[in-house]
Amino acid sequence: MGGALTVPGNVTPYTEANINQDPEAADYVYKHAKHLVMVGLDVTMQTLLTKKETQEWRDLGTEKGRVFADIFDYYIEAYDRLDIDKRGAALHDPLAVGVAVDPKLVTLLPINMMVTHEDGRTIGDPERALDPVKTDFAAVEVDTADYLDRFMNYTNQILG
């Protein structure tokens, strides 16, 4: 998980938090990977977990369900308090794992990418734009309902 191709960043207008930690390293990875799939804010901000889902975990009646719900409720409340999103909290890294397991959860745009060193912007690499071989792929759409349904089924099994 990292980057933002078609949406604003969450650290600066262009920079996503993970990329912001080391733009030069991220750029190196984008330019040298053989098959990199960027699951960025473009799709992760569409996978919002709400208190409806955390209540489902509480309703399992297990200690694990309650603790997990408490953790995610804190995250949801932070999103609200920090005015990130009033509807819920994004499942950034869990979606990246989901895509690693089943890439069909997202629509991928083949694009050779780079990260600008000065501001951490994730963009198409102009030097490789016309290369017929694309080594990077950006997730640009997600089947939100399918993903959230799978996420809840898996977590309910683990927490139940």
Q: What is the pLDDT of residues 121-155, one digit of tens each?
A: 999 999 999 999 999 999 999 999 999 999 999 99
Distance CA 154, CA 113 (A): 32
Q: What percent of the chain has pLDDT over 90?
A: 99
| pLDDT higher than threshold 90 for residue 76 | yes
Domain boundaries, the chain: 17-47+91-159
Q: pLDDT band at 1, cuts 50/70/90?
A: confident
Which residue has tokens 């262009």? 14
**Which residues touch 147 (CB under 8 Å, ≥6 apart)?**
47, 91, 95, 98, 105
Q: Which residues are catalytic?
A: 92
pTM of the model: 0.91
